[in-house]
């Protein structure tokens, strides 16, 4: 059976650099850091007091104003990024939406942690005011599926709709699953990706407790430094990244813009430890191999890798060992970078936001830098991490990696669209 081709026809982002895809990538190319001191709540006694926070977010006309005030931020981010992806693909107008077969349009936007803000506020209400004062929206606004559900309700999309939650690999898993629905003939069009809003007292405290975060409070913009010898943990980020995927036939029939082609993906499990990756990188290698196999691509065809690269002591090196093992000598011809060096680790949204960076690299022929990489680990000094400054590099095939607590590994391949 001939493989069904799947293309990216729209992108929507909510980030510390704003909600416009082109402006988002412009800031990445400029090597700007979005990491700032936390002002959203008192944290003077925390060992980490900074994050890549979204400030002055306005859902605008993308979400009913009353609803926007009520819902958890991760839901706001989901709906806005999803509608922006539709808008980017020329489908948000009533006329364009009216032409779609909505029974064959789906939404698959996941979250690693869900409604942390609503949950935190609800627990505080319960403890200080009693259960009778708890909002009736408490449960709906904390569950991870509600961002995609409310988006589908707004749009009338009746196709596949559910939430995947695989920690920091969530968005990649969601894109992979959405593509499979299109390939299987379940849908013509899918909005897919991830959203996260973890910058709360309990969210910050939780990652502090497991000693995962950088404590570089004197220079927050220097804190996220993947592969650098002086890295001391990751930086929390937030936001949403959503792709509009369509079958090629559906996209061509409506004259859609095509930004890239989704070539394939793979997932695996380390089956090793709750938070630490396998030292031998076997799980990482396995998911990349699955992606290459599904795409029908040889390792030697890959030009660029957007690495998971969170800035943790163990994870950064384990990922690159697996990549070196798989790609061998060809690694010398691959450019590798870390979007997280600028926007922090957006957890369940990371893969979606980074997929947008990958697609913009394919579209523009420009790779954003890995900032703060001043002294790479000795075993990695031969790798092109695009340090400090953006570079021009034509990209035909790119790999996007995301891994999550629990040992969840994911890899997606995107390529330049060819007729």
User: N- to C-terminal Cα distance for the chain?
Assistant: 19
Which one-letter DSSP state was computed for residue 301? G
Which one-letter DSSP state was computed for residue 134? S
List, by residue number, the catalytic residues: 168, 308, 345
**3-state DSSP of 213-270:** ECCCCCCHHHCCCCCECCCCCECEECEEEEEEEEEHHHHHHCCCCCCEEEEEEEEEEC
- DSSP three-state, residue 377: coil
CATH class of 264-415: alpha beta
Dist. CA 11–CA 355, nearest whole Å: 9
- Decide: 347 and 112 in contact? Cβ < 8 Å: yes
Domains 7-260 and 264-415 share a fold: yes
Architecture of domain 7-260: 3-Layer(aba) Sandwich (3.40)
Which strands make up the sheet holding 304-306, listed edge to edge? Answer: 105-110, 189-196, 239-247, 6-14, 260-269, 408-415, 397-404, 304-306, 335-337
* pLDDT score of 2: 63
- Decide: 333 and 298 in contact? Cβ < 8 Å: no
* pLDDT tens, position by position, 5-58: 999 999 999 999 999 999 999 999 999 999 999 999 999 999 999 999 999 999
φ, ψ for residue 288 (rounded to 5)? -65, -40
Any idea how long the chain is?
419
Sign of CA dihedral 281, 282, 283, 287: positive
The verdict on pTM exceeding 0.95 is yes
Domain ranges of the chain: 7-260, 264-415
* pLDDT tens, position by position, 237-271: 999 999 999 999 999 999 999 999 999 999 999 99
- DSSP three-state, residue 305: strand
Listed as ranges, residues in the chain with pLDDT below 50 are 1
* pLDDT score of 280: 86
Q: Could you tell me which residues come within 8 angstroms of residue 160 by beta carbon, excluding any fewer than 6 positions away? A: 106, 107, 108, 178, 181, 186, 187, 190
> Which candidate, 124, 29, 75, places its Cα nearest to that of 348?
75
- Decide: 72 and 116 in contact? Cβ < 8 Å: yes
Which one-letter DSSP state was computed for residue 210? T
- Decide: 154 and 170 in contact? Cβ < 8 Å: no
- Decide: 248 and 3 in contact? Cβ < 8 Å: no
Q: Residue 192 pairs with which residues in a beta bridge?
A: 108, 243
* pLDDT score of 237: 98
- Decide: 234 and 213 in contact? Cβ < 8 Å: yes
Dist. CA 311–CA 303, nearest whole Å: 23
């Amino acid at each position: 059976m001939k493989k069904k081709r799947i293309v990216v026809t729209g992108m929507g982002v909510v980030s510390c650099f704003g909600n416009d895809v082109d402006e988002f990538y412009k800031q990445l190319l400029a090597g700007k850091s979005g990491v700032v001191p936390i002002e959203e709540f008192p944290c003077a006694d925390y060992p980490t007091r900074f994050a890549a926070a979204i400030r002055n977010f306005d859902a605008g006309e993308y979400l009913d104003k009353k609803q926007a005030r009520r819902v958890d931020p991760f839901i706001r981010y989901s709906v806005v990024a999803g509608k922006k992806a539709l808008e980017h693909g020329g489908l948000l107008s009533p006329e364009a939406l009216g032409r779609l077969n909505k029974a064959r349009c789906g939404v698959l936007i996941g979250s690693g942690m869900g409604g942390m803000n609503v949950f935190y506020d609800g627990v505080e209400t319960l403890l200080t005011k009693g259960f009778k004062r708890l909002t009736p929206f408490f449960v709906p606004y904390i569950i991870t599926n509600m961002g995609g559900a409310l988006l589908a309700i707004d749009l009338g999309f009746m196709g596949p709709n559910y939430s995947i939650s695989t920690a920091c690999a969530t968005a990649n898993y969601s894109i992979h699953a959405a593509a499979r629905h299109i390939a299987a003939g379940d849908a013509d069009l899918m909005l897919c990706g991830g959203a996260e809003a973890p910058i709360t007292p309990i969210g910050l405290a939780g990652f502090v407790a497991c000693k995962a975060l950088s404590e570089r409070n004197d220079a927050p913009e220097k804190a996220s430094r993947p592969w650098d010898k002086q890295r001391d943990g990751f930086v929390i980020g937030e936001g949403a990244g959503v792709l509009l995927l369509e079958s090629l036939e559906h996209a061509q029939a409506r004259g859609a813009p095509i930004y890239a082609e989704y070539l394939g993906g793979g997932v695996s499990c380390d089956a090793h430890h709750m938070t630490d990756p396998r030292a031998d990188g076997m799980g990482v290698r396995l998911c990349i191999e699955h992606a290459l196999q599904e795409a029908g691509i040889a390792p030697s065809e890959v030009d660029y890798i957007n690495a998971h690269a969170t800035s943790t002591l163990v994870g950064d090196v384990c990922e690159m060992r697996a990549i070196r093992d798989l790609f061998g000598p060809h690694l010398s011809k691959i450019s590798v970078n870390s979007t997280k060096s600028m926007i922090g680790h957006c957890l369940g949204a990371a893969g979606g936001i980074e997929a947008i960076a990958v697609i913009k690299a394919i579209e523009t022929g420009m790779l954003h830098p890995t900032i703060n990489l001043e002294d790479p680990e000795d075993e990695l000094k031969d790798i092109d991490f695009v340090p400090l400054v953006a570079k021009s590099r034509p990209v035909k095939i790119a790999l996007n990696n995301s891994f999550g607590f629990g040992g969840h590994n994911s890899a997606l391949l995107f390529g330049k669209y060819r007729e």
